[in-house]
Amino acid sequence: WLTENITTRIEGHIIGFDEYMNLVLDDAHEVHLKTQVRKPVGRILLKGENITLIMSTQDP
């Protein structure tokens, strides 16, 4: 979830992180919850200050 916009979330595979909870996500998608539109964004760096929730979307 992004703190500025609760109707948008970023989904992807975590491939790296640091002590500030900055995440490197691979195969990331920006998902708009109201329209269910998925926009591929590829590999991104998501700053830890923008993260409010991390959850698994698949069973281990």
Instruction: Give the CATH number of the domain where residue 45 resides.
Output: 2.30.30.100
Residue 3 lies in a domain: no
Q: Does the predicted model carry a pTM greater than 0.85? A: no
Residue 23 pLDDT:
95
Residue 58 lies in a domain: no
For the chain, the domain total comes to 1
Once rounded to an integer, what is the mean pLDDT over residues 20-40? 94
Range of the domain at 16: 8-50
Rounded to 5 degrees, what angle do the CA atoms 29, 16, 12 make?
Answer: 15
Residue 56 lies in a domain: no
pLDDT of 2 over the 50 cut? no
Confidence of residue 1 (pLDDT cuts 50, 70, 90): very low
pLDDT of 20 over the 90 cut? yes
Residue 55 lies in a domain: no
